[in-house]
Amino acid sequence: MNEVYGSAAPRSMSSTSPSTMKMFMCFLAVFMVVQTIGTVLFCLYLHMKMDKMEEALSLNEDYIFLRKVQKCQTAEVQKSTLLDCEKILKGFKDLQGKDGAANKEGPKFEMQRGHEHPHSKSRNETSVAAEKRQPIATHMAGLKSNKAVPVLEWNKTSYAPMNSLISYHKGKLKVEKAGLYYIYAQVSFCTKAAASAPFTLYIYLYLPMEEDRLLMRGLNTHSTSTAVCDLQSIREGGVFELREGDMIFVNVTDSTIVNYSHGSTYFGIFKL
């Protein structure tokens, strides 16, 4: 009897599923991250531990040194101990000397700083206050001229204020700072009865690129006295807004009859 045997089915090769491989890789990655973090934390802990140990050792050395000093300061122990007390006590005195010198230099330095600072501060405050108190003003006396001049000339006086923010240039006063200024002038003159036209005083704002601007004008008629010369005066003053660099000057109808005696003819300006 013939038996028919069927061919045996081949055994399938078992393989790892993809999901299992993914889980294994994730587990491996997490394990490496945790291990790295743990290593870093352990290094930090070890570093802190070593710092504490160094501090403890330092304190321990200081304590041992102080104990040696204490023993060496006792007369009985000096005779019986094997320590080099002379060297230990010398080192201790050197340390005391250094600490004492540092303590002395520190307060001295602080005292000098504290001593210099208020003085320098007071000097600065004084200079600032002096600048604020110093007026921006000038007062000038008439300068005599033997001939007729288009602009009256002036001379600085020792008793009147003079500021660097107001300068003098050939009869003209120049302001170096803009603001409100009071301008004034007085001119004394010798009048005669024979003259018909009035004597006139002009105060002008100098404008180099255009015609000068009249600020103030004063007139005075001549006296009818028969005297050779009868003195009279004209005085003008007013407040004006001036720009930086503006210049003002004084003119009269006849500069030959101006009287230049002390206090008779003057010109000035001051900032309000």
Q: Which two tokens stand for residue 167?
A: 């300068």
% helix, strand, coil for the chain, step of 5: 40, 25, 30
pLDDT band for position 265 (50/70/90)?
very high
- What digits encode the pLDDT tens for the residues 224-233? 665 657 678 8
Nearest to 155 by CA among 145, 233, 234, 147: 145
Res. 134: pLDDT tops 80: no
Edge-first strand order for the sheet with 247-252 is: 166-169, 172-175, 247-252, 199-206, 213-220
C-alpha pair distances (Å), 10 with each of 4, 7, 232: 18, 9, 147
Sign of CA dihedral 250, 256, 258, 262: positive
Across residues 12-27, what is the average pLDDT?
75
Res. 88: pLDDT tops 50: yes
Higher per-residue pLDDT: 36 or 12: 36
- Distance from C-alpha of 100 to C-alpha of 112, rounded to nearest angstrom: 19
Q: Which two tokens stand for residue 141?
A: 């006396």
Res. 109: pLDDT tops 50: no
Question: What pLDDT shows up at residue 191?
Answer: 75
Q: Which two tokens stand for residue 78?
A: 């000096």
Q: Which two tokens stand for residue 195?
A: 């003259």
Sign of CA dihedral 242, 243, 247, 252: negative
pLDDT band for position 122 (50/70/90)?
low
Nearest to 178 by CA among 266, 65, 261, 272: 272
pLDDT band for position 6 (50/70/90)?
low
Q: Which two tokens stand for residue 264?
A: 């008779």
Contacts of 195 (CB under 8 A, 6+ apart): 222
- Continuous H helices in the chain: 18-72, 75-80, 85-133
Point out which residues pair with 183 in neighbouring strands. 238, 269
Res. 58: pLDDT tops 70: no
C-alpha pair distances (Å), 64 with each of 53, 78, 88, 100, 266: 16, 16, 11, 23, 92
